[in-house]
Amino acid sequence: MTDYPKKVVVTGMGLVSPIGLNLEDYWKNLLNGKSGVAPITKFDTTDFKTKFAAELKEFDPEDYMDRREARYMDPFCHYAVAAADMAIKDAGLEEEKLDLNRIGVIVGSGIGGMCIFENQVEVMLKHGPRRITPFFVPIMIIDIASGHISMRHNFKGPNFATVSACATASHAIGTAVDNIRLGRADVMVCGGSEAPITKMGIGGFNAMRAISTRNDEPEKASRPFDKDRDGFIVGEGSGILILEAEEHAKTRGARIYAEITGVGFTADAYHITAPAPGGEGAVRAMKMALDETGISPEEVDYINAHGTSTLLNDKNETEAIKTLFGEHAYKLKVSSTKSMIGHLLGAAGGVESIATIMSVVENKIHPTINYDTPDPDCDLDYVPNKAIKHTTNHALCNTFGFGGHNASLLFSKYQ
């Protein structure tokens, strides 16, 4: 039986986001407080209550694959493949020098191929079922992103997808940690991808009154923890991490960004969309991540919050932090990446883990922008509007999904 590795480390990161199509631009724009929210360009929004979102700017799949490959992928898969390629390159993984049977891929999505689904429904209604493309199902299914990444790089280790709404990517990352610790793989490519800015995506979230309708000021619409928040903003993109057993990374001379020291998964068992009162499930997820490694609440320096800009989530997450951390909650720095990139749903845990890791690496914390009017129910230090320097040895990344799925990941400076 393979020995249980003591440490799992992060050796590569890649992403495509509404404020940067690579790690360098993304982190720079986060620190500068740049908003990626703007009017929707993908379809005519005349009849929609919400007319804006956080789209990818200037993304071209043919920058990462040939035209024929791109034709047989949904945009959520384009994003995943692009982010994975960048993460693999960033980690310096030389496939000819590695045991490819020991490299796995877990990349999830909350919704998957919504673009191809909408397109092919229109084809069927207009031309009949015989005109549906035979590639419809393999383009649409959520696990196909992991499949394409593994085929592209010949990775033959554990390969599957996670699906847990907004907690998807964090569940993929935490499950990848388990696969390394259990000896099933030496290296895992993990994260999430989402392309939900479609007519049905925006219309569906409008119908449930979950997203902002601040059409006159879209760049100011995502305002986590602010008293005047009125819903989240739909975003798109992908965030991918390369995780390795410490000894494997050291043996090949890899650069190590940080260690992933704790993973916490819980369920609210409460409601299909609303969080449990007081963030009870979130409390247990954060505590589980800390307990796994023996780090005390007082040692945590920063929390990259789920921070959706919805009334219930922000209030309940604040309560959860205060419940677990007590007086230390007021010494913590808390910020929301979603204030700038919107909510990437199943990709959120990937892109936000990357922001958290960069805080650990550089001792800088990006702001929560659009924080103008304090809410008495949200009374922590949300790093309002301007990035700060702050020693960050241990940082939590929270993601909570519809259905009561909670995931909390703890990243620490590598010793």
> Cβ(398)–Cβ(319) under 8 Å?
no
Question: Nearest to residue 254, comparing CAs of 7, 6, 5, 12?
Answer: 12
Amino acid at 294: G
Q: Which residues pair with 188 in a beta bridge?
A: 104, 243
Catalytic one of 153, 171, 306, 394: 306
Half-sphere exposure of 347 (CA within 13 A, CB side): 33
Judge whether 166 counts as a catalytic residue: yes
Give the DSSP H/E element, type plus range, for residue 409: strand 405-412
Joined together, the tokens standing for residue 158 give 């554990």
What is the SS3 assignment for 262?
Answer: strand
Burial of 285-319, coded b for 16+ CB within 10 Å and e otherwise, reads bbbbbbeebebebeebbbbbbbbbbbeebbbbbbb
> Cβ(325)–Cβ(297) under 8 Å?
yes
Question: Nearest to residue 37, comparing CAs of 342, 355, 307?
Answer: 342
Cα separation of 309 and 305, whole Å?
11
Q: Detail the DSSP E strand segments found in 109-228.
A: 159-160, 187-194
What is the SS3 assignment for 187?
Answer: strand
Catalytic one of 148, 171, 248, 343: 343
Cα separation of 355 and 186, whole Å?
24
Judge whether 343 counts as a catalytic residue: yes
> Cβ(412)–Cβ(393) under 8 Å?
yes
Amino acid at 101: N
Backbone angles phi, psi at 202, to 5 degrees: -65, -45
Give alpha helix (H) positions in 32-74: 67-71
Catalytic one of 77, 148, 153, 166: 166
> Cβ(306)–Cβ(170) under 8 Å?
no
> Beta strand pairing status for 394-401 and 405-412?
antiparallel
**Catalytic residue set:** 166, 306, 343
